[in-house]
Amino acid sequence: MSGGFLLSCLGGNICIMLVPIFTLKLSHKINPRMVTVGKFDGVHPCLTAATQAGKVFIHNPHTRAQKPASHRLSQSTQDSDISLLNINHAVTCLTAGTLGPNAAGDTLLVGSQTNLLAYDVHDNTDIFYKEVSDGANAIVLGKLGDIPNPLAIIGGNCALQGFDSLGNDLFWTVTGDNVRSLVLCDFTGDGKNELLVGSEDFDIRVFKEDELVSEMTENETVTSLCHMHSSRFGYALANGTVGVYDRNSRYWRIKSKNHAMSIHAFDLNADGVVELITGWSNGKIDARSDRTGEVIFRDNFSSSVAGVVEGDYRLDGQKQLICASVEGEVRGYLPAGKELKGNLMDSSAEQDLIRELSHRRQNLLLELRNYEENAKGVSDSTGGIPANTQLQTALSVRAATEVQKAHVELSITTPNETIIRAVLIFAEGIFEGESHVVHPSVQNLSGCVRVPIIPPKDVPVDLHVKAFVGGKTSTQFHVFEITRQLPRFSMYDIAIDPSAPPPTGRVTFTINDRPQRVAMWLNQNFLLPEGVDTPDVTFSSLRGGGLLSIGMTANGQITLQTDDIDLAGDLVQSLASFLAIEELSAEADFPTYFEELQTTLTEVDEFHAVHQKLTAEMADHSNYIKNMLVQAEDARLMGDMTSMKKRYRELYDLNRDLVSEYKIRSNNHNALLACLKSVNQAIQRAGRLRLGKPKNQVISACRDAIKSNNVSALLRVMRAGVSAS
């Protein structure tokens, strides 16, 4: 039966492969994820990419007019179609597009850990060159919310910053961790773009201008984002996962052992819907259906893919998908013509499909045989289990013991004499490799399996459980499948030790809701076996974070006491979302944390001072070097070898000093970056204790305080919010 099905299915296919329409071998290596296409004269698309040693190359095969060399732009000596742009810093991101309202061509934007350059390639001039203290790990160019002009938005050290064509920063806000990927798309469907931010704390956050409107938690660093169509977008994680979301629900995802280097949306089979194109670290390119993740096309490069972009590189009005490898190999693919009928798979991919289908057939035959055996042997109980067998699951909090860390226990039981042979649990971000198998030894078989679970973060997680149930001597088992949700705050136990020191940190706010609703929120979000009927509860953190007390007064004032400001923010956000509160102001104090912040701010000042001093010294030294070189050269010309040797020895010593000074400078810079990151994080944390307008006001007031170097104003805003100050 299945053999016949296979044949008829394959008979309908015509094996034509989609082949590259052009290939290039550039003589420059390409930095991963730093590839773009820009029409810098408004007409001719140029592949542009960061290469080694702080340079950007611009490939322009269309116009041969040589540009006059400038302090930045020079001609590549290896390739006449390539111009090299000098950045002098290691490039961390780049993009090209419309920035200026009146510019004829695209603007090139190049980010580094310290600066953002907007460059007019056509006129060979800087548009602006800005110092950016939070660095630029990712960049996106386009319109955001109601801001009339396009912005170049960079994401760095916990901060987001957007510049217009004049270099004014019209947009700034903070986010939870280092930003790794950005994309603009109309997430809410109101015709205006939101900013999607992927970061190292595994979150994808959605900003409507500077207001956070949605948050999706993934289980690894979000390394790439790309807009597909309407509110649908693709994403890639550092662990080899790629997938597609529509708003905040995930459509599909797949996980590979390779890394997804670049993702891009492109309609390769010309059916009017874009596919998700992924370039992988092993050189593979694949195109997947936006709806199902099914592969419709594959190709291979001999080295890791660096970037996937698109452009009309042949100037014939049709866009090509352009893929570039780290070794400088470039291939362009045209969307499939009618003769391919959307069938882009080459024969080897088709063989993969046959292999997969026959594997599936094998498994089904095996399953069928099992059922037949079972049907024969109903009476001898080899596989049959009582009809009333049902799987029961329970979650409970277990405090730390001498042999085991504190954890949440998932117990899985059968109600009768049947035993559980094995349990397979699938849960995102909890087990290494996402799944966990429990397989008790034969002498320990019973109707109950207990699995310790330690969620690393306070996020709700679905536990997908498969249990193999049968008789004690069975060789075949029934598989039960159950999904159980682990509540968000499951790593907190009702506190039994009243002598533990009370937390000094707290946040206080007032709500217009009944205490019963707050109790309902507690019952849904914590593991409370007995349940609670008042909002006044004290928990102790199983992760060792001390006590958490929740209290509510008769007039609706809620106080959360904890020393963990992140936990306080999570609780405020969770409760507000449960009660559908959109605007909330709060008063807060986290004495220990604010003290640390004050120390950090003093350190920032010190590092800035050292930085300035070192920069001045370096300028002095380079003048000194110039003089000494001139003197050494003069000595050589006059045949005075003794003086020449002396000068060169001095130069050697000076060089050694310079190298060690450079190390100090670089350490100083890294320490400064770490401090700035924690300052941005503190602002974000202070914001998360509020919602809506009060939150945005706190964030922008904090930034003003930082700008004017007013530490006491900063702490006042963090404590009291804006309305009260």
Residue 626's alpha-carbon distances to 616, 631, 645, 665, in angstroms, are 16, 9, 16, 21
Identify which of residues 125 and 318 has a Cβ nearer to Ca ion in the complex.
Answer: 318
Identify which of residues 118 and 195 has a Cβ nearer to Ca ion in the complex.
Answer: 195
Identify which of residues 186 and 356 has a Cβ nearer to Ca ion in the complex.
Answer: 186
Q: Is the Cβ–Cβ distance between 89 and 67 less than 8 Å? A: no
What residue type is assigned to position 448 of the chain? C
Size of the site for Ca ion (CB under 5 A): 9
Identify which of residues 339 and 497 has a Cβ nearer to Ca ion in the complex.
Answer: 339
Q: Single out the residue of 19, 52, 190, 605 in contact with Ca ion (rule: CB under 5 A).
A: 190
Cα 186 to Cα 209: distance, rounded to the nearest angstrom? 12
Strands (E) in 132-210, as ranges, are: 138-142, 151-155, 159-163, 169-174, 179-185, 194-199, 203-208
Nearest distance in Å: CB 272, Ca ion: 7
Asked if 524 is part of the footprint of Ca ion (rule: CB under 5 A), the reply reads no
Cα 149 to Cα 152: distance, rounded to the nearest angstrom? 10
Asked if 188 is part of the footprint of Ca ion (rule: CB under 5 A), the reply reads yes
Listing DSSP states for 308-341 in one string gives: EEEE-TTSSS--EEEEEETTSEEEEEPPP-GGGT
Asked if 267 is part of the footprint of Ca ion (rule: CB under 5 A), the reply reads yes
CA distance between the termini of the chain: 78
Identify which of residues 79 and 194 has a Cβ nearer to Ca ion in the complex.
Answer: 194
Nearest distance in Å: CB 251, Ca ion: 15
Identify which of residues 190 and 634 has a Cβ nearer to Ca ion in the complex.
Answer: 190
Kindly indicate which of the ranges 193-201, 215-223, 364-372, 499-507 contains the residues binding Ca ion, using the contact rule CB under 5 A: 193-201
Listing DSSP states for 262-287 in one string gives: EEEEE-TT-SSS-EEEEEETTSEEEE
Residue among 710, 686, 702 nearest 585 (CA): 686
Nearest distance in Å: CB 696, Ca ion: 17
Kindly indicate which of the ranges 33-41, 60-68, 259-267, 308-316 contains the residues binding Ca ion, using the contact rule CB under 5 A: 259-267
Nearest distance in Å: CB 233, Ca ion: 13
Identify which of residues 117 and 336 has a Cβ nearer to Ca ion in the complex.
Answer: 336
Q: Single out the residue of 186, 356, 481, 633 in contact with Ca ion (rule: CB under 5 A).
A: 186
Identify which of residues 184 and 702 has a Cβ nearer to Ca ion in the complex.
Answer: 184
Nearest distance in Å: CB 344, Ca ion: 10
Task: Give the three-state DSSP class for 605.
Answer: helix
Q: Is the Cβ–Cβ distance between 553 and 524 less than 8 Å? A: no
Which residue has tokens 């003086």?
643
Q: Is the Cβ–Cβ distance between 123 and 102 less than 8 Å? A: no
Identify which of residues 146 and 497 has a Cβ nearer to Ca ion in the complex.
Answer: 146
Cα 324 to Cα 356: distance, rounded to the nearest angstrom? 30
Kindly indicate which of the ranges 263-271, 479-487, 512-520, 544-552 contains the residues binding Ca ion, using the contact rule CB under 5 A: 263-271
Kindly indicate which of the ranges 194-202, 448-456, 539-547, 679-687 contains the residues binding Ca ion, using the contact rule CB under 5 A: 194-202
Nearest distance in Å: CB 340, Ca ion: 12
For residue 69, what is the DSSP state?
P
DSSP bridge partners of 195:
184, 207
Strands (E) in 28-99, as ranges, are: 35-38, 46-51, 55-59, 73-75, 82-86, 91-97
Identify which of residues 273 and 628 has a Cβ nearer to Ca ion in the complex.
Answer: 273
Identify which of residues 210 and 458 has a Cβ nearer to Ca ion in the complex.
Answer: 210
Q: Is the Cβ–Cβ distance between 56 and 46 less than 8 Å? A: no
Residue among 210, 241, 247 nearest 228 (CA): 247
Cα 537 to Cα 561: distance, rounded to the nearest angstrom? 11
DSSP bridge partners of 449:
412
Kindly indicate which of the ranges 26-34, 186-194, 581-589, 634-642 contains the residues binding Ca ion, using the contact rule CB under 5 A: 186-194
Q: Give the count of beta carbons closer than 10 Å to the beta carbon of residue 284.
A: 16
Cα 571 to Cα 555: distance, rounded to the nearest angstrom? 20
Cα 719 to Cα 351: distance, rounded to the nearest angstrom? 64
Identify which of residues 124 and 188 has a Cβ nearer to Ca ion in the complex.
Answer: 188
Nearest distance in Å: CB 569, Ca ion: 25
Strands (E) in 487-525, as ranges, are: 492-494, 506-510
Kindly indicate which of the ranges 266-274, 324-332, 473-481, 553-561 contains the residues binding Ca ion, using the contact rule CB under 5 A: 266-274
Nearest distance in Å: CB 213, Ca ion: 9
Nearest distance in Å: CB 149, Ca ion: 17
Nearest distance in Å: CB 186, Ca ion: 4
Nearest distance in Å: CB 111, Ca ion: 25
Nearest distance in Å: CB 335, Ca ion: 8
Cα 114 to Cα 680: distance, rounded to the nearest angstrom? 16
Nearest distance in Å: CB 12, Ca ion: 20
Tokens linked to 493: 């136990």
Asked if 294 is part of the footprint of Ca ion (rule: CB under 5 A), the reply reads no
Nearest distance in Å: CB 289, Ca ion: 8
Q: Which residue is nearest to Ca ion (CB)?
A: 188
Q: Give the count of beta carbons closer than 10 Å to the beta carbon of residue 63.
A: 12
Kindly indicate which of the ranges 124-132, 181-189, 585-593, 714-722 contains the residues binding Ca ion, using the contact rule CB under 5 A: 181-189
Q: Single out the residue of 95, 107, 114, 269 in contact with Ca ion (rule: CB under 5 A).
A: 269
Residue among 134, 172, 179, 133 nearest 152 (CA): 172
Nearest distance in Å: CB 243, Ca ion: 17
Tokens linked to 301: 């490069």
Nearest distance in Å: CB 216, Ca ion: 16
Could you give the count of Cα atoms lying within 13 Å of 677 in the half-sphere of its Cβ? 18
Identify which of residues 342 and 386 has a Cβ nearer to Ca ion in the complex.
Answer: 342
Q: What string marks each residue from 211 to 250 as x (binds Ca ion by CB under 5 A) or -?
A: ----------------------------------------
Burial state string for 699-710 with b = 16 or more CB within 10 A and e = fewer than 16: bbbbbebbeeee
Identify which of residues 206 and 410 has a Cβ nearer to Ca ion in the complex.
Answer: 206
Kindly indicate which of the ranges 188-196, 304-312, 625-633, 646-654 contains the residues binding Ca ion, using the contact rule CB under 5 A: 188-196
Task: Give the three-state DSSP class for 29.
Answer: coil
Cα 497 to Cα 56: distance, rounded to the nearest angstrom? 62
Q: Single out the residue of 273, 395, 495, 625 in contact with Ca ion (rule: CB under 5 A).
A: 273
Q: Single out the residue of 2, 5, 271, 502 in contact with Ca ion (rule: CB under 5 A).
A: 271
Asked if 343 is part of the footprint of Ca ion (rule: CB under 5 A), the reply reads no
Asked if 543 is part of the footprint of Ca ion (rule: CB under 5 A), the reply reads no
Asked if 192 is part of the footprint of Ca ion (rule: CB under 5 A), the reply reads yes
Kindly indicate which of the ranges 219-227, 267-275, 548-556, 707-715 contains the residues binding Ca ion, using the contact rule CB under 5 A: 267-275
- List residues near Ca ion by CB under 5 A: 186, 188, 190, 192, 194, 267, 269, 271, 273
